[in-house]
């Protein structure tokens, strides 16, 4: 599986492609909610990463936000 932490810090050609996906997400006007397939794929990868990430100071963009959201969703599920 793609290591997003590595890709966010590396300068190799393949990792630069991943950084390009990050940039796309920051500039895209359609977004995943509007149907952008690139954004949907990146969103999925970021969610997978956030579920498995144990670091408190992770360098992957939006990791902390996604972990908070996942934690909140789990609390909502537990309270039912």
Q: Tens-of-pLDDT digits for all 80 residues of the chain?
A: 468 888 878 889 888 888 888 889 889 999 988 999 999 989 998 999 999 998 888 888 889 999 999 999 999 989 87
Rounded to two decimals, the pTM is 0.77
Per DSSP, helices labelled H in the chain are 4-9, 13-27, 37-52, 63-78
Max distance between CA atoms of the chain, in angstroms, equals 47
- Pick from 44, 38, 35: which is nearest to 62 by CA? 44
- The predicted pLDDT at position 2 comes to 64
Rounded to whole angstroms, the Cα distance separating 39 from 23 reads: 10
CA angle 18, 20, 25 (to 5 degrees): 100
- The predicted pLDDT at position 39 comes to 93
């Amino acid at each position: 599986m793609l290591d997003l932490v590595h890709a966010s810090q590396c300068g190799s050609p393949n990792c630069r492609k991943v950084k390009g996906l990050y940039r796309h997400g920051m500039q895209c006007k359609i977004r995943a909610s509007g149907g952008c397939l690139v954004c949907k794929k990146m969103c999925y990868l970021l969610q997978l990463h956030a579920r498995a990430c144990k670091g408190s100071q992770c360098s992957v963009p939006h990791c902390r936000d996604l972990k908070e959201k996942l934690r909140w969703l789990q609390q909502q599920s537990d309270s039912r």
